[in-house]
Each structure stands twice: as C-alpha cells, then as structure tokens.
Amino acid sequence: MFPFKRWSGSRLAPAARVELRRSQYRAFLQQVPLLYAVLIVNTATVAITHLRVAPVYLSVYAPVLLCLFCVVRVVMWLRSRRRVLSDDALARRLRTMVWMAAGMGTAFTAWALSLYPYGDAYARSHVAFYMAMTVIGCIFCLMHMRVAALLLTCIVIVPFTLFFGSTHNPVLVAIAVNVLLVAVVMVMILLIYYRDFTTLVESQIQLRTKQTETQRLSDENFRLANLDALTGLPNRRRFFADLDGHLAPLQGYARAPGSLAIGIIDLDGFKRINDLYGHAFGDRVLEETGRRFAAQITPQVSVARIGGDEFGLMVVGATAYRQLLDLGDALTAVIERPYVLPEGAARMSASIGFANFPEAGETTLQLVERAYYALHFAQAHRRGGVVIFSPEHETQIRHLSKIEESLRRADFEREISLHFQPIFDTALREIMAFEALARWTSPTLGVVAPSMFIPVAERCDLIHALTEVLLRKALDTARSWPETVRISFNLSARDLTSAGALDRVIRTTLASGVAPHRIDFEITETALIQDFGQARTALDALKKLGARISLDDFGTGFSSLNSVHRLPIDKVKVDGSFVAGIEREATARAIVKSIVDLCQNLGLTCVIEGVETRAQMTALRELGATVMQGHLFGKPVAANLVLDTYVREPLLPWL
Ligand code: C2E
Ligand code: CA
Ligand code: CA
C-alpha cells in the first residue's frame, strides 16, 4: 500500500543516515517520560481493580515488577539523556530499543491476558480497555521509531484481536474489531508521519551539505587564488595582502616599533641553473626550495614566492637586528645545501634584504623598496649574505639619487674621461696591456668613483651611451700606443644582454682604427648569470670580430669551472680580494693556486689584480702566476700620461 522503501532512509548516504538516526533518537527521547507514565499509571489502575479478585502474583507482584522495570528505565533515561553518543553507540541503542519494545510489549500483553479470566464483566472489559488504550498511547510515543512502533503494534494487536475475537462475547468481539481498525489507521498515520519526518530531516541535511560544499568550494577557490602553484607557498598577491593586513593596525598613531619586518630573498645562481639545465629542472629546484622554506615557517615567520626566483618574508614580532640576521642566516643556509634531484645536482646560494617597520619605512611600498635596496646591497657586496636596511643605506640612497640626477644631466664627452692602468707580465718583464678605467668629474658633485656611478648608469639606462663614449675615447688613446700593447676595456653586463648596445660596441670598434685583435673586453659574471644564452651570443660576436674576452673579478661570485669551460674566454682576472692576505692565508693561496692551475689546463691567461707589494708578487709567482695588475706596477693614469709614464720608460725601478 505504501512505497515503504522510499521512507526507509536507505537511499541516503551513510553520513546522512546517521544524521537521520540522531534526529529520530532526539525526538524519541522527549517522549520517554510520557511513555512510561502511561504504562505505569494504566498498569497500576488495572492491578488495583483486580486486587481482590486475582491471585497476588498477578495483581501485585507482576504489576509491581513491570512498573519497577519502567521506573528503572526512566532513571536510566534521566542519567543518559544528555550524553552525546558515537555513531556506533547510537546504532546499538536504537537496536536495543527495538528489542525493548518487543520484550515489554510481550510481557505487558501476557500479563494483561493472564489477568482477564479474573473478576466480573467490568473488570474484564477494563483489561480490554487497558490493553487497547495503552498500546495506542505507546504507539504515539514511538512515532519516530518506526520499526519499534510497528513491532509493538503487531505484538499487542494481533494477540488482542485473536483473543477477544474468539471470546464469543459480541461486545468483546466488537471491541476487537474496533481496536484492529484503529490500529490499521494508526499504522497508516504513523507511516505518513514518519515519511514527512524523514523528508524534513533529509532536506535539512541536504541544505547543510550544500552550504558546507559551497563554503568548501569558496575556501578552495580563495586558497588557490592565493597560492603559488609550483611551490605551494603563498603567492605575490597573498604576500602583499598579508603585509597590508599586518601593517594597517601598526600605522599612524600607535606605531609599534620592531613589530614587523619584511625580507626579500633572491636565489643567486638560479637563472644560470635554469639556462644550463632547462626550465623543467629549474622548476624542480624551485619546488625543493619551496619545501625547504616551508620547513622554516613559524607563527612569526611566513614565506611567499613573489617572483621567478624571488621570495618574500614577513616577520612578525621578533625583529631585532640580531634576530633578523639569525633568521637570514638560517634561510641562506637552507639554500646552500646541495640540491640533489633525480634529474641532476645543483648548488645555489641566497641573498636576503630586510626592512624593518617603522625604521625603514611605514608603508608597504616603502618597506618593499627598502628591502630590495638591502637585497641589492647584499648581492653587490657579498653573495649569499644578509643585509638589513639601515640609516647608512638611507644616506646612500640619497647620495645615489643625487648621482643619478647629475648623471642624467652630464655631458659625457666633457665630464667623463679614462685612466689607464698597466697589466704587467712579470716573466717577460713587460707591459702586456692597459686597462681603461672610467673617471667622472661632475660639476656639481666633484670626482665620483666608477664603482658608484657605473651601477647607477646601469640602473637608469644610461650605460649604453656611456659605454659608447668611453670605448671611443679608450680606442682613440690606444691608437697612439705601440702595436704590441693591448687595451683592456670593461663592458657592463647590460651591454651584453642588449642586442642594440652590442651593435654599437662593434661599430665603434670597427670605426676606431685600432685592430680588434688588440682589444680585450672585460666582462663580469653578472652578465652570464642574467642570461647565459644571450651572453654567449654576444661573446661569440665579439670573438668573431677578433677581440679577446677576459672574465673579470673571478672568484668573488659564481663563476665556476663550468662557465669558464663553456664560454669563449681567453683570460681570467682573479679578484684583488684574494691578494691582500696571500702571504699569510693558506686558503687564499689555495684558491689562487687552483685558479692558476685551472687556467694553465684550459690554456687561459691568468691575471692577478690588486697586487700592491713585492711580497705579494713573490708569493704569487711561487704559485705560478705571472701576469699581474696593481699599484705595485702602476696606478691608473690619465690618457696623456700613459706613454710618458709607462711606455717610454719601460725599466721599472723595482724589477
Ligand atoms: P675593476 O674592473 O675590477 O677595476 C679594477 C679596480 O681596482 C679599479 O678601480 C682600479 O683602480 C683598482 N685597483 C687597481 N690596482 C689596485 C691596487 O693595487 N689596489 C687597490 N686597492 N685597487 C686597485 P676603479 O677604477 O675605481 O674601478 C672600479 C670598478 O668600476 C672597476 O673594477 C669596474 O668594475 C668599474 N669600472 C671602471 N671603469 C669602467 C668602465 O669604463 N666601464 C665599466 N662598465 N665599468 C668600469
Ligand atoms: Ca676590470
Ligand atoms: Ca676586477
């Protein structure tokens, strides 16, 4: 008659079924006191009306036992009604309740039917009335527990109808028929009610599931929009949003010094790895870097990937200089560990620039700019280092912006000149070449060192124009020198990575009248790191011209055997920093020795820079070095003094 299955809840998902059971149980618990009240009161009244007519065990002991059992159940209910049940415990309890309903139904029915033969017609009718009314009351109370209610109906109504239907008493037979009809109607009502109840609970569950799902999708969407897909770290957008979020309450009146710092991390050598081994390998390296950084994250420190090989750090709380330096050291150490991946192995280092709130700036933009400044400072002065933006940097920034301003207005032809410093072959006892070194006398700032203005010119795109003027002047000067003396000219990394600039270098060289084979172009490793492919093309073009290539400042950064080997290089210039302690420091000696040997193996000329004393020269010669440059052999001099100072009087007094 009823599509029973539809309401059974069995088509629900397991979780929803548990939820449905819980709702049923909750609803039933509220009916428990009523259920037992009906049972106890009705049983007691029947027992009392049979007190004198029925045997004691039926009129006293049995009802007292049954009622006591009901009282015990009520006490148990009082104790456990607030207890939160596990899913399994709930299922067990519901099963117990079904058995309980069946057991109690049987016990009460058996007792009532045993009582029937005693007493007069009224007492007998009372028993029938008691059974009919009590079972109807109980079925109502069990409305939410369908199985228990149906079972109880069967257990009581079937024997009731059979028993009274077979009494041959027309009144009792009529009662049996009436009660059976009422029971059928009640079962129908019960099933309809149960269906509505299930549907209601079900729709609530669905609504809740949908809300949870919507929330989950929206959370997931937010997470993905703020995550870097490669490393799984927060991305640039998230980094800046978090920074704004943390900064907002600190700004203005209630500035809390030392409460926030940001850091920018740049991987030194990553671009080269990418160029040499390919992007897929580069991606693996970045993933591994992300994992290494993620392991360093604490409640105070968060790391995000904000660019190709750039990571952003936000430090909340512990931002004293010492703490930042320690954190920076820990992070750089993590990167310096070798990368051993299935595709190959690589090594990198990292530079970190920190900017502290509010000392270095009060807005996100200021802090980020200053952190970058500190980072560039770290990269320029010591790779794999940590620098915190300080008041000195502030002064420097102001100074640099003054330099930039003057450089933009400078008349290169008039203000910029060249000095020349000899490069000496100590074995042949003669000058091999002169290195051209830029000199700028600004009408507003006076003499500005090239180490100051060259980087500024590179940053504000004046370097190409500057290189062109300098190269023309250098070659003009070199034209008057003996054919055997070479000229060494410094090219900026930027000159190599721009095709237009390289064209101008080649055209200026060809127009100079100096044979290209007399020219050495000095390049630093920065150019190689930035774009290995492009640098290679540029070097090949210069080589094709007939010029030679020197790798400058060797040993200070990343130039490795690998890059020397793979590039068309003729000379290696060992940085002066190794020379200062050459007589005392075994490490410096070992490094220089290994470079000298390497050059010998590869057939390269090795030039040692910054040689200032005879002792240094002797020590270097013992290591096998012959070609040197430095104040010992001569300081840089103006163009017009080169011939007089060095070429016409080649006999140097100290030799
Ligand atoms: P660099 O190419 O390594 O040049 C050598 C620097 O060491 C020069 O400094 C030189 O004067 C200095 N030096 C030479 N011998 C000694 C010595 O015995 N002791 C000490 N302490 N220093 C010595 P300078 O002229 O100040 O140039 C600094 C840097 O500026 C150069 O380093 C180079 O990187 C850059 N630079 C100079 N001229 C040019 C140029 O025309 N173009 C480009 N792109 N860069 C240039
Ligand atoms: Ca140089
Ligand atoms: Ca150098």
User: What's the CATH number where 437 sits?
Assistant: 3.20.20.450
CB 523 within 8 A of CB 548: no
- Whether residue 231 lies inside any domain: the answer is no
> Ligand 1: which residue has its CA nearest to atom 22?
610
| Residues 432, 323 share a domain | no
Residue 437 alpha carbon to ligand 1 centre in Å: 6
Residue 435 alpha carbon to ligand 2 centre in Å: 7
H or E segment and range at residue 423: strand 416-425
**Alpha-carbon Rg for the chain in angstroms:** 47
The 3-state DSSP class for residue 388 equals strand
Residue 2 has pLDDT above 60, yes or no: no
The average pLDDT across 442-457 equals 94
Q: Where among 356, 389, 422 does a domain terminate?
A: 389
| Residues 543, 477 share a domain | yes
Token pair for residue 87? Answer: 């899913």
| Residues 410, 299 share a domain | no
| Residues 166, 110 share a domain | yes
Count the domains in the chain.
3
- Whether residue 397 lies inside any domain: the answer is no
| Residues 371, 412 share a domain | no
The label of the residue with tokens 């109808």 reads 161
Residue 526 alpha carbon to ligand 3 centre in Å: 13
Question: Among 490, 526, 574, which is best to mutate for testing ligand 1, by the most ligand atoms less than 8 A from CB?
Answer: 490
Which amino acids bring their CB within 6 angstroms of ligand 1? 421, 436-438, 449-451, 454, 470, 490-492, 552-553, 576, 610-612, 629-631, 636
- Whether residue 226 lies inside any domain: the answer is no
pTM for the model stands at 0.58
Residue 439 has pLDDT above 80, yes or no: yes
- Whether residue 182 lies inside any domain: the answer is yes
Residue 410 alpha carbon to ligand 1 centre in Å: 21
Residue 560 has pLDDT above 70, yes or no: no
> Which is the closest atom of ligand 1 to the Cα of 474?
41
Ligand nearest to the CA of 488: 2
| Residues 421, 366 share a domain | no
- Whether residue 184 lies inside any domain: the answer is yes
How far, CA to CA in Å, does 119 sit from each of 53, 109, 123? 5, 18, 5
Could you read off the pLDDT of 373-429 as tens digits, one per residue? Answer: 999 888 877 656 899 999 888 888 888 889 999 999 999 999 999 999 999 999 999
> Ligand 1: which residue has its CA nearest to atom 15?
630
The average pLDDT across 594-617 equals 93
| Residues 146, 241 share a domain | no
Within 10 Å of residue 337's Cβ, how many Cβ atoms?
11
Counting residues of the chain whose pLDDT is more than 70, the rounded percentage is: 93
Residue 647 alpha carbon to ligand 2 centre in Å: 21
- Indicate the pLDDT class of residue 256, thresholds 50, 70 and 90: low
Which residues 6+ apart lie within 8 Å of 139 measured at CB? 149, 152, 153, 183, 186, 190
| Residues 564, 453 share a domain | yes
Residue 27 has pLDDT above 90, yes or no: no
Mean pLDDT, the chain, rounded, equals: 88
| Residues 622, 597 share a domain | yes
| pLDDT value, residue 160 | 92
| Residues 246, 312 share a domain | yes
Question: In degrees rounded to 5, what are phi and psi of residue 370?
Answer: -70, -35
| pLDDT value, residue 557 | 59
Q: Is 168 left (phi over 0), alpha (psi -120 to 50) or beta?
A: left
| pLDDT value, residue 11 | 59
| pLDDT value, residue 80 | 82
Q: Where among 389, 411, 434 does a domain terminate?
A: 389
Q: Tell me which range, 140-149, 233-242, 464-473, is most confidently predicted by mean pLDDT.
A: 464-473
CB 441 within 8 A of CB 606: no
| pLDDT value, residue 531 | 74
DSSP secondary structure of 625-652? --EEESTTT---EEGGGHIIIIIS----
What is the Cα 614 distance to its own chain's centre?
Answer: 55
CATH assignment at residue 383: 3.30.70.270
- Whether residue 95 lies inside any domain: the answer is yes
| Residues 245, 181 share a domain | no
- Indicate the pLDDT class of residue 109, thresholds 50, 70 and 90: very high
- Whether residue 518 lies inside any domain: the answer is yes
| pLDDT value, residue 655 | 56
| pLDDT value, residue 384 | 65
Within 10 Å of residue 552's Cβ, how many Cβ atoms?
26
Ligand nearest to the CA of 553: 3
> Which is the closest atom of ligand 1 to the Cα of 489?
41
The average pLDDT across 438-463 equals 94
- Domain of residue 350 covers 236-389
Rounded to whole angstroms, how far apart are CA atoms 20 and 90? 11
- Indicate the pLDDT class of residue 218, thresholds 50, 70 and 90: confident
| Residues 293, 169 share a domain | no
| pLDDT value, residue 12 | 63
Residue 500 has pLDDT above 50, yes or no: yes
Question: Among 419, 437, 447, 475, which is best to mutate for testing ligand 1, by the most ligand atoms less than 8 A from CB?
Answer: 437
| pLDDT value, residue 8 | 45
- Whether residue 221 lies inside any domain: the answer is no
Token pair for residue 495? Answer: 């000159």
> Ligand 1: which residue has its CA nearest to atom 43?
490
Rounded to whole angstroms, how far apart are CA atoms 322 and 320? 6
The average pLDDT across 533-552 equals 93
Q: Where among 361, 389, 417 does a domain terminate?
A: 389
120 or 11, greater pLDDT: 120
| pLDDT value, residue 168 | 87
| pLDDT value, residue 3 | 38
Residue 652 has pLDDT above 80, yes or no: no
